Amino acid sequence: MASASEPMLDGAIPGPGGGWNRFILEFDDLESVVARLKADGVVFRNDIMDTPYGKRVICEDPSGNVIELRQPPA
């Protein structure tokens, strides 16, 4: 299943303009990246989710574009 089609932890379902299209960036240590970005004021749509495909979280750039940050499974 593509991550853009999965609901968020709060049950929100992605739709046009709200999550179908996104950049995906991969990191080795997602928790530290998210902590740095939150300290810099980046807006996150959810908390880090632990999935069978690895950890991931959704944030927005200053224009509101959706960006998925991901850490592959160990």
Residue 50: domain span: 25-74
pLDDT of 72 > 80? The answer is yes
CATH code at position 29: 3.10.180.10
52 lies in a domain? Answer: yes
- Encode pLDDT of 9-32 as tens digits: 666 666 665 555 778 999 999 999
36 lies in a domain? Answer: yes
Q: What is the pLDDT of residue 32?
A: 98
35 lies in a domain? Answer: yes
5 lies in a domain? Answer: no
Number of structural domains (the chain) is 1
- Encode pLDDT of 26-62 as tens digits: 999 999 999 999 999 999 999 999 999 999 999 988 8
1 lies in a domain? Answer: no
pLDDT of 1 > 60? The answer is no
State how beta strands 66-71 and 23-26 pair.
parallel
Q: What is the pLDDT of residue 23?
A: 85
33 lies in a domain? Answer: yes
> Measured between alpha carbons, how far is 44 from 34 in angstroms, rounded to an integer?
9
